[in-house]
Chains A and B, each alone.
Chain A
Amino acid sequence: MRTKIFPIFLIITFSITFYVFYKGLQNSNIYTPEIKSEIKIPRFEAKEFFSKDMINSDQIFIGSEFYLLNIWASWCIPCKEEHKYLMDLSKKENIKIIGQNYKDNFVNAKNFLIKLDNPYDLIFSDNDGTIAIEWGAYGVPESFLIKNNQIIKKIIGPLNEKLFSEIKELTQ
């Protein structure tokens, strides 16, 4: 009896292990856990991009309007891809687009906006990237849809057609 149980046990263990690893092969190895983080927006102070005046986050996100915070940089290639969607969104009346210029050179960033047009209602600089951490962001590009000082949607990576229509729907 004992001699039979052992090989069966071994086969089952191996098949389960094989199955788990085989399934795992197809999965993305970048693990982003679900975060039950606070959905309230962080408070911070930052430099306005053009005037270099200090502004408070309370002065940026006012009232019950929709805001789209977009973290971008001139050196970031996916930011160029999503730019056309931001331009489209900037034409909408009920949504304000706030840019967070992430670890960028001022001249390069300005040229980026001149070349591709400026979709932002306001831009502030995040030179050392610490404000991005306050938002719980991973890098560039990343966008947050905000209403009433609450984050209602977080988008990691560039905007695409699907996300774009989703944002449009949410802001209807």
Chain B
Amino acid sequence: MNILKLLITVIFLINFYSSDLKAKNLGTEITKNLRCLICQGQSVYDSDSEFANSLKILVEKKLDDGLNEKQIYDYLKNKYGDWILYDPGFNKNTYFLWLLPILMFVFGGAIILRKVILKKKKL
């Protein structure tokens, strides 16, 4: 019975994975990771502003020219800065951004650990 359950789970997971692959269109993927600079809070993919529409066309054009995903990100980063990417690279301006969650995690973990130890001591 357990084996059957496991088998069903595995098949389900594989299905999810492959259906996700089929839906992937590189242009869409790229524009989803670009911030619309004049309608902030929206991705280029979601936005219908003039800027976003032009950028969608440009991304398709660049893909046709044979550029890969990373090259397009680099190209746009050059023009508009890191801010256009929803997934900014790790550099000296973004140390804080990337390390803050880890710091919070460690700090929170330390507090919990302390509480647990204190509780044990009391017992």
Given A30-B40, A128-B57, A130-B57, A138 contacting B51 (CB threshold 8 A): yes
Given A36-B81, A37-B79, A133 contacting B58 (CB threshold 8 A): yes
Interface centre among A33, A36, A103, by most chain B C-beta atoms within 10 angstroms, is A33
A31 lies within 8 A of B81 (CB)? no
Task: For chain B, give the interface size range.
Answer: 10 to 19
- CB-contact partner of A130 in B54, B78, B81, B83, under 8 A: B54
Interface centre among B57, B78, B80, B83, by most chain A C-beta atoms within 10 angstroms, is B80
List, in ascending order, chain B residues with CB within 8 A of A37's CB: 78-81
Q: Across the two chains, which residue of chain B brings its CB closest to A129?
A: B54
Q: Does B63 contact A (CB under 8 A)?
A: no
List, in ascending order, chain A residues with CB within 8 A of B80's CB: 35, 37, 136
How would you classify the secondary structure of chain A's contact residues: helix, strand, loop or mixed? loop
Given A129-B50, A129-B53, A33 contacting B82 (CB threshold 8 A): yes
The total of chain A residues at the interface (CB under 8 A) is 22
A2 shortest CB reach to chain B, Å? 11
A33 lies within 8 A of B81 (CB)? yes
A103 shortest CB reach to chain B, Å? 6
Give residues of chain B (37-52) contacting chain A, Cβ–Cβ below 8 Å.
Answer: 37-38, 40, 50-51
Inter-chain CA distance A21–B121, complex, in Å, is 41
Inter-chain CA distance A38–B37, complex, in Å, is 19
B58 lies within 8 A of A31 (CB)? no
Q: Does A169 contact B (CB under 8 A)?
A: no
Q: Does B61 contact A (CB under 8 A)?
A: yes
Inter-chain CA distance A139–B50, complex, in Å, is 8
B78 shortest CB reach to chain A, Å? 6
List, in ascending order, chain B residues with CB within 8 A of A136's CB: 79-80
Inter-chain CA distance A132–B57, complex, in Å, is 12
Q: Across the two chains, which residue of chain B brings its CB closest to A29?
A: B40
Q: Across the two chains, which residue of chain A brings its CB closest to B61?
A: A130
B40 lies within 8 A of A38 (CB)? no
Inter-chain CA distance A29–B39, complex, in Å, is 11
Inter-chain CA distance A80–B57, complex, in Å, is 28
Inter-chain CA distance A128–B61, complex, in Å, is 11
